[in-house]
Structures are given as structure tokens and as C-alpha cells.
Amino acid sequence: MNGDLMVKDLHVSVEGKEILKGLSLEVKKGEVHAIMGPNGSGKSTFANTLMGHPKYEVTSGDILFKGESILEMETDERARAGLFMAFQYPVAIPGLTFGSFLRAALNARIAPSAGEDGKMPTKKGIPPKEFRDLMKKHMAALKMDEKFATRYLNDGFSGGEKKRAEILQMAILKPEIAIMDETDSGLDIDALKIVSEGVNTLSGPDLGVIVITHYNRILNYIKPHKIHVMKDGRIQATGGPELALELESRGYDWVREEVGTR
């Protein structure tokens, strides 16, 4: 169970309206899972619930990570435990350089858990030179200019730059389960290839990946072990890479017609 994510019969409501209606999923380290589905099926609700967004209320079911429930954990605690989410629309923070943000995030990730008083332990963290070398190595792999580190976080970034920045965070923070919420949204083909190559490079026995997408095109570059079709707040069908091709040619309506709501 070390590093595995297990979602059991998850029901989630937003402002009193039920969005997830009994979703179950298991993702192990070393696996790549794709979740596909039409708009409004609950994909982003699922991603935000995994990371503990307060807007999303879990009414029943459970989320287990490394064998323990994380429902009572705050978002930062889930991140330090090894969960990571690449956002569809990353927020810009003028005044905070990307390099400073990333070093602070890494120090929080590698720091021990907070003490009983709730305060973070004092720890110098990764030395500046070691961090710069680490960042340069990963930026080169993602074909990012080193000056990128001195720019304000997501401020004035193009769509492709924002997504590369998310993958760079993933490379440096080394999560155990990464959730990519429509990371392919708004990317041209060159940026899509670079982001996909970055994900493929990071994939391995120490990382499980959940790729949430509306379209098949990112799956031409990232090859999932399993594809799940989500509709009406639950997973309606699961298959291999061939399922994505069927969805591309037939759309999503057949899932409900042939599989039904389970």
C-alpha cells in the first residue's frame, strides 16, 4: 500500500448539489491512469477533492493514501505527504519569483511534519547552490530558459509556459501520486509534446499519475496503463489504450447506452 491511492465509493457535494455519486478508483505507484469524460461529468471535482479543496464536501466514502484516510488532512498536509496537482488554470502571483516559490515548496515537502503546536519545524532546507543545480537540470530537460526562474510566478506566462512550470514543480517536488487536471488545455502541439515528454521522463516505479482530460490528443504522447470513462459523477467504463480511440470515434453517449449507470 506504500504510495498507493485508493478511492472508495466517493460521494461529493458542492453547495448542496451532489457531483460525485459513488466513484471508486485505485492507482498504484508506477501506473499511469487517464480519466476521460464530457464537460460536467465531475472530473475537476474529483481532482480538487483529492487535494482537499474546502469547497468540495465529502458526504460519504473515503480516500486512502498509503493505507490511511486523508479526508481530515488539509491541502498542504496532503502535498507534503506526496500528492501533487497540476492545475488547468495556474494562478499568477506577481512579486513572487518562480525560483523562490519552488525552493520554498521543496523545503516544505522535505521538512518533517508540523509539531503538536501546529508550527512548521525550523529547518534550513536545501542549500541554495544545490537547489539551483537541481532546477537547472530539470529546466534544461523541459527546454526552459534559465531566466524563467527569476520571473514572477505565472505572471505573463503563456499557456505553454504555465504548463511547463507545473511539470517542473512535479520534477523537483517528486510526489508519489500526481494529478494532472486537463494539463493539455490550451497547448499547441509543440508545447504538448514537451509537457508529455516531461511526464514520460518522470513516470516510473516511484510515481503514479492520473491524467484528467477531455480529449484524446495528449494520450498520443502519454501512454496510460488504464483509461477510465467518467460520466454522471462516477466511472462508467475502464479499459486499455484502445478505449481512447473508441471514444474519439464514437464520443461519450455510447458509454451510457451500452454500459449504463453502475
Q: Count other C-beta atoms under 10 Å from residue 177's C-beta.
A: 25
pLDDT at 242: 82
Amino acid found at 140: A
Averaged pLDDT for residues 53-77: 96
Mode of pairing for the β-strands spanning 57-65 and 226-231: unpaired
Global pTM value = 0.87
Q: Count other C-beta atoms under 10 Å from residue 38's C-beta.
A: 16
Average pLDDT, the chain: 87
Which pLDDT band holds residue 172 (cuts at 50, 70, 90)? very high
Residue 144 · residue 90 · CB < 8 Å: no
Say whether pLDDT at 227 is over 90. yes
Can you tell me the distance from the alpha carbon of 224 to that of 76, in angstroms, rounded to the nearest whole number? Answer: 28
pLDDT at 3: 63
Averaged pLDDT for residues 140-168: 88
Which pLDDT band holds residue 216 (cuts at 50, 70, 90)? confident
Can you tell me the distance from the alpha carbon of 179 to that of 190, in angstroms, rounded to the nearest whole number? Answer: 22
pLDDT at 115: 45
Give me the torsion for CA of 18, 72, 110, 133, rounded to 10°: 10
Give the residue, 191 or 10, on which the prediction is more confident. 10
Can you tell me the distance from the alpha carbon of 231 to that of 39, in angstroms, rounded to the nearest whole number? Answer: 9
Can you tell me the distance from the alpha carbon of 213 to that of 190, in angstroms, rounded to the nearest whole number? Answer: 18
pLDDT at 18: 97
CA-to-CA dists, residue 89 to 68, 97, 161, angstroms: 30, 18, 12
Averaged pLDDT for residues 33-38: 91
Report percent pLDDT > 70 for the chain.
Answer: 91
Can you tell me the distance from the alpha carbon of 205 to that of 219, in angstroms, rounded to the nearest whole number? Answer: 20
Can you tell me the distance from the alpha carbon of 181 to that of 89, in angstroms, rounded to the nearest whole number? Answer: 9
Which pLDDT band holds residue 43 (cuts at 50, 70, 90)? very high
Helix pair angle (98-110, 128-141), 10° resolution: 110
pLDDT at 123: 58
Which pLDDT band holds residue 114 (cuts at 50, 70, 90)? very low
Instruction: Give the per-residue SS3 of the chain.
Output: CCCCEEEEEEEEEECCEEEEEEEEEEECCCCEEEEECCCCCCHHHHHHHHCCCCCCEEEEEEEEECCEECCCCCHHHHHHHCEEEECCCCCCEEEEEHHHHHHHHHHHHHCCCCCCCCCCCCCCCCCHHHHHHHHHHHHHHCCCCHHHHHCEECCCCCHHHHHHHHHHHHHHHCCCEEEEECCCCCCCHHHHHHHHHHHHHHCECCEEEEEEECCCHHHHCCCCCEEEEEECCEEEEEECCHHHHHHHHHCCHHHHHHHCCC
Domains of the chain: 5-44+53-93+176-259 (3.40.50.300)
Averaged pLDDT for residues 84-91: 84
